[in-house]
Structure 1
Amino acid sequence: MLDFMDHVQNAFYGASHWNVDNSYGNLTATARALLDFQTPRGLRLHVSSLAAPNFATSYTIGSVGVVDGSVSYLYSSLPLLRSFKSAQLDLRHVINGYRHLGHLRKPDESRWWELWHNGKRVDCRDTLLYGRIFLPQSTLEALYLRRLSPTRQLRISAVSDSSLNNGGTILALLQNDVGKYSTEYMYSTDSALLGVRGLYNFGPDPRLGPTTPVTAREVTEAVQGRFSAGAELYYGMLNKSGGISTGLRFTTLPNHASFPYTMTLTLNPLMGNLSSTYSVKAGQNLALCSRFDFNFYSYESDLQVGCELWRRRSLTDVVWAVKKLRPDWERPAVATDDDVSGILKARLDQEWRIGLLWEGRIKDLLFTLGASLDLKKREQIFRAVGVELQYSS
């Protein structure tokens, strides 16, 4: 389940019209959501609040051998009007599941962001500031996020920790997204790393959309899937080493006639790693995923399978009560994901390691219950068991 601050950052992306899925870094996000979920360890409690539309706080305390915790603050110049109360929020916004990618949208016009007063421009760019300190380690995290234009964003993250080289590291990322393609340029103080990556989407260009509504509808109905290709190149100037990777993705779009699915293929030629994934929404409540990794230098391979099962709220009692009060009542249309009450996730690899996760809501609390098992170690099958509770107001 997403941390409260991650949820707020996603709300900032949505309010500022930034598409986080149109990035090479999120090419395999669907498979990662189904297979790479983290199982909690021990007991951890999160208490958070959106004190104002521009300001949020969060406190965490946990017990894994020793008592630890964190304190974090967030400021957004863009008011966030979505409900963040744990008793009211939509679970789809905080639970990572199968990702339904939509049609690419045309970027906002630059003039829409202009604000004039007495003949002078007085508009400012939306900014998000975030800081978090971990106790008792005194490790500090910081994030500076700024929307430079409708198609450009600057993201600077930093970590201060005495255990790291030079006492910490800074990562700067300049992102460009015009819909049809996206590019990212990065620099990290760790090894003076320079990198560039990009993603290109085949098919219609959203910047050159049809002018008439009829033609636009016909084009939308005709495009039921999207094929994307991307690559990444990075080089560390201090350690004189670099890397390269490339990837492909095909995903169905919302107007696809049959079940949604996503396929990806990534390759790292220097390391010899090849990875393929297939994710499918097999039903309204069920999603399945598989990932096969192969190294053509060592001939080693790995196979993982996983699934997620969504639990829906029962409307039987509510329907009966309303019908008794209003004989002429007609049941309202309910969206396919509007009645979500929880989710069960499971994964299994070829070494018989199992991960289980159950996420949902009890009253005003969000909960995450997880366990890691190793069936080959009969004397100690349970590797880790944990519970996380979140409350936000």
Structure 2
Amino acid sequence: MLGFMDYVQRAFYERSHWDHDNSYGTLTATAQALLDFETPRGLRLKVSSLSAPNFATSYTLGSVGVVDGSLSFLYSSLALNTPSKSSEINLHHVILGASYGGQMSLGDTLLYGRLFLPNSTLEALYLRRLTPTRQLRISCVSDSTLHNGGTILALLQNDYGKYSTEYLYSTDSALLGVRGLYNFGPDPRTSPSASASTVTSEGSVLAEPQYGRFSAGAELYYGVLNKSGGVSTAIRFATLPQHTGFPYTMTLTLNPLMGNLSSTFAVKAGPQLSLCSRFDFNVYSYESDLQLGLELWRLRSKPLEIAWAEKLLREGWKKRKARADEDVIGILKARVDQNWKIGLLWEGRIKELLFSAGAGFDLKRRDKVLGAVGVEVQYSS
């Protein structure tokens, strides 16, 4: 489940009409949401608040061996009038699940800082929109255990809808990198029902609806100080909303230098059920790995509706409009790999609180089948 500050940052992206998912780094986001979810460790409490449309705070207290915590502050030059109470937040906006398929006034800025206790590690984020299609993102970490006491990562992002590019620099090893993503077919900035046109023998133009989109991307990076680099490339096919069958997403990622090959397939098998598989293979060592995962949304059962009851309503009466997630009780996530390591996670809402409860199991270790177990509780106002 997203933390409150991550939720507010996504609200900033939405308010500024920036497509956070149109980048090479999020090409496999659907499979990662279904297979790479983190299970809580120990007990962790989070109390947050959007005290003003431009200012948010968050406090965390945890107990994993020792008592630890963090203090977070966020400022946005854009007014973020998004629901902030934990009892009103749409669960679809804070639970990372499967996903199938503008203009902004220049100079808008987001500032974020977080102090970890008791080790006094500090992380910060500076985000600024330079043009309607470009933004600068600078993140840094200050920690005495890191080389030179910390690191800074600068990322220049460009999103033109049809394609996107990113240029990065990190003070760690003086790392330089570039990556890009290209979307084939209609421009994603147009309506989801965008279509290609064909000309018939009579000269008339017919529209051919597009049911899927093919994307391809690559990244290249090089460390100046350690004189080492890397490269990877990936492709993705995802169905669009007008696809009449089961929505699905397929990806293939290749790292030629390391010899790693990874393929994923995710499908929405039912209204509340999504399934995913990932197969990794190394062409040099012949080692392979297989993971399977699912997510199941549980909805509150609805009473049977009697058709003639609608006629008993007086004219002018209006039904109360329900929230999009009003009938959502929670979501169950599960994964298993070929070594019989299992991860379970249950996320949902209890009255005014958001919660995540999870556990890990290793069925091949008879001495310690049950691994990490934890519960995370969030409250925001």
Q: TM-score, normalised by structure 1?
A: 0.88
Counterpart selection for 1:128 from 110, 114, 125: 110
What is the alpha-carbon distance in structure 2 between the residues aligned to residue 208 and residue 281 of structure 1?
A: 24
Matched, 1:185 2:173: no
Counterpart selection for 1:383 from 360, 371, 377: 371
Specify the alignment match of 1:274 in structure 2.
261
Shift of the alpha carbon at 1:363? 0.4
- Is the Cα–Cα contact under 8 Å of residues 284 and 336 in structure 1 kept in the other structure? no
Matched, 1:98 2:95: no
What is the alpha-carbon distance in structure 2 between the residues aligned to residue 355 and residue 180 of structure 1?
A: 37
Specify the alignment match of 1:120 in structure 2.
none
Specify the alignment match of 2:215 in structure 1.
228
Matched, 1:160 2:142: yes
Specify the alignment match of 1:27 in structure 2.
27
Match of 1:99, SS state, is: coil
Specify the alignment match of 1:144 in structure 2.
126
Deviation string for 1:204-224 (max 9, x for gaps)? 235789xx99x9xx9997011
What is the alpha-carbon distance in structure 1 between the residues aligned to residue 310 and residue 246 of structure 2?
A: 37
* C-alpha spacing 1:84/1:326, structure 2 compared with 1 (3 Å): farther
Specify the alignment match of 1:173 in structure 2.
155
What is the alpha-carbon distance in structure 2 between the residues aligned to residue 133 and residue 377 of structure 1?
A: 37
What is the alpha-carbon distance in structure 2 between the residues aligned to residue 89 and residue 330 of structure 1?
A: 24
What is the alpha-carbon distance in structure 2 between the residues aligned to residue 348 and residue 90 of structure 1?
A: 28
Shift of the alpha carbon at 1:137? 0.7
What is the alpha-carbon distance in structure 1 between the residues aligned to residue 190 and residue 51 of structure 2?
A: 42
Q: Quick one: which amino acid aligns to residue 44 of structure 1?
A: R
What is the alpha-carbon distance in structure 1 between the residues aligned to residue 143 and residue 323 of structure 2?
A: 46
* C-alpha spacing 1:308/1:220, structure 2 compared with 1 (3 Å): farther
Specify the alignment match of 1:296 in structure 2.
283
- Is the Cα–Cα contact under 8 Å of residues 42 and 387 in structure 1 kept in the other structure? yes
What is the alpha-carbon distance in structure 2 between the residues aligned to residue 365 and residue 336 of structure 1?
A: 18
* C-alpha spacing 1:79/1:304, structure 2 compared with 1 (3 Å): same
Deviation string for 1:344-385 (max 9, x for gaps)? 000000000000000000000000000000001112111110
* C-alpha spacing 1:239/1:222, structure 2 compared with 1 (3 Å): same
Specify the alignment match of 1:2 in structure 2.
2
What is the alpha-carbon distance in structure 1 between the residues aligned to residue 155 and residue 107 of structure 2?
A: 17
What is the alpha-carbon distance in structure 1 between the residues aligned to residue 178 and residue 121 of structure 2?
A: 29
RMSD: 2.6
Deviation string for 1:12-48 (max 9, x for gaps)? 0000000011100000000000000000000000000
Specify the alignment match of 2:229 in structure 1.
242
- Is the Cα–Cα contact under 8 Å of residues 100 and 249 in structure 2 kept in the other structure? no
- Is the Cα–Cα contact under 8 Å of residues 90 and 325 in structure 2 kept in the other structure? no
Specify the alignment match of 1:370 in structure 2.
358
Match of 2:31, SS state, is: helix
What is the alpha-carbon distance in structure 2 between the residues aligned to residue 336 and residue 260 of structure 1?
A: 20
What is the alpha-carbon distance in structure 1 between the residues aligned to residue 124 and residue 219 of structure 2?
A: 25
Matched, 1:348 2:336: yes
Shift of the alpha carbon at 1:202? 0.2
Matched, 1:11 2:44: no
Greater Cα offset, 329-338 or 370-379 = 329-338
Specify the alignment match of 1:339 in structure 2.
327
Q: Flag structure 2 segments of 5+ consecutive residues without an equivalent.
A: 198-204
Q: Flag structure 1 segments of 5+ consecutive residues without an equivalent.
A: 102-106, 114-123
What is the alpha-carbon distance in structure 2 between the residues aligned to residue 167 and residue 385 of structure 1?
A: 33
What is the alpha-carbon distance in structure 1 between the residues aligned to residue 129 and residue 34 of structure 2?
A: 30
* C-alpha spacing 1:12/1:375, structure 2 compared with 1 (3 Å): same
What is the alpha-carbon distance in structure 1 between the residues aligned to residue 94 and residue 335 of structure 2?
A: 20
Shift of the alpha carbon at 1:94? 0.1
Matched residues, number = 369
Match of 1:316, SS state, is: coil
Shift of the alpha carbon at 1:255? 1.2
Shift of the alpha carbon at 1:337? 5.9
Deviation string for 1:188-245 (max 9, x for gaps)? 0000000000000000235789xx99x9xx9997011100000000000000000000
Shift of the alpha carbon at 1:331? 7.9
* C-alpha spacing 1:279/1:161, structure 2 compared with 1 (3 Å): same
Matched, 1:308 2:295: yes
Deviation string for 1:267-325 (max 9, x for gaps)? 000000000000000010100000000000000000000000001123329x68x9599
Match of 2:377, SS state, is: strand
- Is the Cα–Cα contact under 8 Å of residues 90 and 324 in structure 2 kept in the other structure? no
Shift of the alpha carbon at 1:334? 7.3
What is the alpha-carbon distance in structure 2 between the residues aligned to residue 197 and residue 390 of structure 1?
A: 35
Specify the alignment match of 2:181 in structure 1.
199
Q: Quick one: which amino acid aligns to residue 52 of structure 1?
A: A
